[in-house]
Structure 1
């Protein structure tokens, strides 16, 4: 299992558009990918799951992946968060 801590850097937080980008990106990988916020864990491949986290600006999350392409999946999602979902 590979995991990495992420911070929501875009001012609007994770709303519908970033949630869709996260799910679309996660679905490119065969690994099982989860995002954890506090005690809540959601499937990163589910748009609704990602939205229900209600992750706002500066929220710290942990992304975890388990599978053959887990390292690439975690790094790709990390890069997506670092790019602020191309919003700012």
Structure 2
């Protein structure tokens, strides 16, 4: 299992557009990919799950992946976070 933490620095947090980008980034991977924030964990392949977390600025999120392409899935999430200027 691979995991990585990110701090959300965007004033808007993770709203609908970046949430969609994150979900789209991991949907092609076979690994199970989860997002944890605010004490809750959801499937990162579910837009409704991601939106339900209400991730705002200053929130630390943990992305975890388990499966044969777990490393690539985490890298894809990191690329979206950088591209969308969500955090570091």
Aligned match of 1:55: 55
TM-score of the two chains, using structure 1 as the length reference: 0.89
User: What aligned pairs does 1:21-36 form with structure 2 within 5 A after superposition?
Assistant: 21-36=21-36
Gaps of 5+ in 2: none
| Maintained 8 Å contact 1:31/1:73 | yes
Root-mean-square deviation (CA, aligned residues, Å) is 1.4
Q: Please give the alpha-carbon distance, in whole angstroms, between the structure 1 residues aligned to 2:42 and 2:4.
A: 15
Q: Please give the alpha-carbon distance, in whole angstroms, between the structure 1 residues aligned to 2:8 and 2:81.
A: 6
Query: Stretches of 4+ moved more than 2 A in 1?
Result: none
Q: Please give the alpha-carbon distance, in whole angstroms, between the structure 2 residues aligned to 1:74 and 1:8.
A: 16
Residue-by-residue CA offset, 1:8-56 (whole Å, 9 max, x unaligned): 2221111111111111111021110000113200000000100011001
TM-score of the two chains, using structure 2 as the length reference: 0.89
Instruction: Kindly tell me the number of residue pairs found equivalent between the two proteins.
Output: 86
